[in-house]
Amino acid sequence: MDIQINPKIVAAGAFESGGKTDLHDAVVAINAGQVSASSLLHNAIAAASSPACDAVYLRRFDDQALAVAAAVDAARAVGLPLPPLAGLAVSIKDLFDVAGHPTTAGSRAMDDAAPASADCPAVARLRSAGAALTGHTNLSEFAYSGVGINPHFGTPVNPTTLAHNPTPRIPGGSTSGGAVSVATGAAWAALGSDTGGSIRIPAALQGLVGFKNTQRLTPLAGAIPLSSTLDTACAITRSVRDAVLVHGLLAARLPRPLARPLQALRLAVPQTVMLDGLDSDVARAFEDTLDALRAAGARIEELPLAQLSDLAGLQAQAGFAAAESWAWHRARLGLREADYDPRVAQRIRRGEVMTAADYIDLLHARRAWIACIEAEVQGFDALLSPTVPMVAPALAPLLASDQRFFAINALLLRNASTINMLDGCALSLPCQAAGQMPVGLMVWGPAMHDDSVLGVSLTIEAALAACAATAIRPARRATGRSA
């Protein structure tokens, strides 16, 4: 995807790590000499050191990052071509090996981890693209929840909801620190993982973009696993075009998102499970988004997709995450269970009772379920659903109550985890109106439909921006319409 100048931003020199400026704009400005990579990195470091980033970073790589930015500025000064990420700040979830630093998965039980001898492939690809790696970010311990709570190192507060309500709210997980690093301006993009929504959930709750590509497209070597069947290495960004760029770097491929007008798209809204129990903010934002897209010419059809209701039964015996995490953790749990988050240990131990026959049955059942879903969605350019059925809930009740925590965690994972079981791809982008709490729209499809999902997402993002500029959606919202 070609990087294009945003003339308003470049002309104004309006560059800081936060705000509406995205990675594309920053790269263009650095190449044009409008701003230095070092100055943008200093801004990112200042944001990472602010109270808004409390509990976001588990370890910082400031000196290394500053050296990368300085090298980019030196290259530009003598007319050398710059790498794609031009020395801009990128954060790394504490699941991925970074040379010279331990990888601890946000757990006290990993405090004996030795420094990594080399970057894992995903990190190496970002580094070779000119990313200034700013540090390892916090997460739900071992990536095992969609809430984002970490009892060992603290929980980052969702920074995007404070303007609406001073009550501290969850960041979403498991890529909690990564999302907050992007939302606060401490990073332009965040490398993370998505096993059941761990990229898309925090993106939705914080008004960001999170793209979960088809799993096989990005390498998982050198990352602490949760579920080898479902884990996906991917990223959180500020815009869909940034998602295209970063995905291309992580997958070492040239994405070709199809730039088609809304009128040429055939989209579906699954009616089973995905729309159940939406809170009023999400229901209103989702319905208003569909109305706005229809008004702009999109063909949107209701699709029963009844097979989605079969998913709960498939995972009744805990599913891949429990079985595969138990295989990885069983020795360490036997020695250091007291150092685990009890809520995480409880979920891992569900895999202890799953037999080999149960696991093989699940593999076969999943394969058949995927075939049924893929047959039903043939002919659609993408499917649309709410990423999560609620806006970010308050943090304190989830710290206090296991029952409340597990209930909210299940709801947060419900829609997003469907795509992982499908072996599909999905992107969450903000769809709320100005002044409303962040709500995510999930654009999704089957395996290897990544370019279609990215193309549809680019079109939808542009359409929603045009609606916001003409105040179409606020006018609709004033009518009081809701789902």
Domain range annotation of the chain: 7-308+385-477
The 3-state DSSP class for residue 136 equals strand
At what angle are helices 450-469 and 280-295 packed, to 10 degrees?
90
Of 93, 193, 417, 428, which residue is the catalytic one? 93
Active site residue 482: no
Q: Name, in order, each residue with C-beta under 8 angstroms of 228's C-beta and a sequence gap of 6 or more.
A: 220, 324
Active-site residue (options: 145, 181, 198, 227): 198
CATH class name, domain 7-308+385-477: alpha beta
Catalytic site residue 128? no
What's the CA gap between 158 and 170, in Å, rounded?
6
pLDDT digit string (tens) for the chain, length 483 residues: 333 333 333 333 344 444 479 999 999 999 999 999 999 999 999 999 999 999 999 999 999 999 999 999 999 999 999 999 999 999 999 999 999 999 999 999 999 999 999 999 999 999 999 999 999 999 999 999 999 999 999 999 999 999 889 999 999 999 999 999 999 999 999 999 999 999 999 999 999 999 999 999 999 999 999 999 999 999 999 999 999 999 999 999 999 998 899 999 999 999 999 999 999 999 999 999 999 999 999 999 999 999 999 999 998 888 999 999 999 999 999 999 999 999 999 999 999 999 999 999 999 999 999 999 999 999 999 999 999 999 999 999 999 999 999 999 999 999 999 999 999 999 999 999 999 999 999 999 999 999 999 999 999 999 999 998 886 544 444 333 333
Report the alpha-carbon distance of residue 192 to residue 92 in Å, rounded. Answer: 7
List strands edge to edge, sheet with 89-93.
57-60, 132-137, 89-93, 189-193, 233-237, 209-212, 425-430, 440-445, 382-386, 266-270, 299-303
Select which of 145, 174, 176, 428 is catalytic.
Answer: 174
Q: For residues 440 and 199, is the Cβ–Cβ distance under 8 A?
A: no
Q: Residue 13: its pLDDT value, please?
A: 35
Residue ranges in 184-236 assigned as alpha helix (H): 200-205
**pTM score:** 0.94
The runs of H, that is alpha helices, within 184-318 are 200-205, 240-251, 280-295, 311-314
| Cα 270 from Cα 276, distance rounded (Å) | 11
What's the confidence (pLDDT) of residue 14?
41
Separation in Å, CA 10 to CA 24, 29, 32, 42, 466? 11, 6, 9, 19, 21
Count other C-beta atoms under 10 Å from residue 79's C-beta.
6
Is residue 198 part of the annotated active site? The answer reads: yes
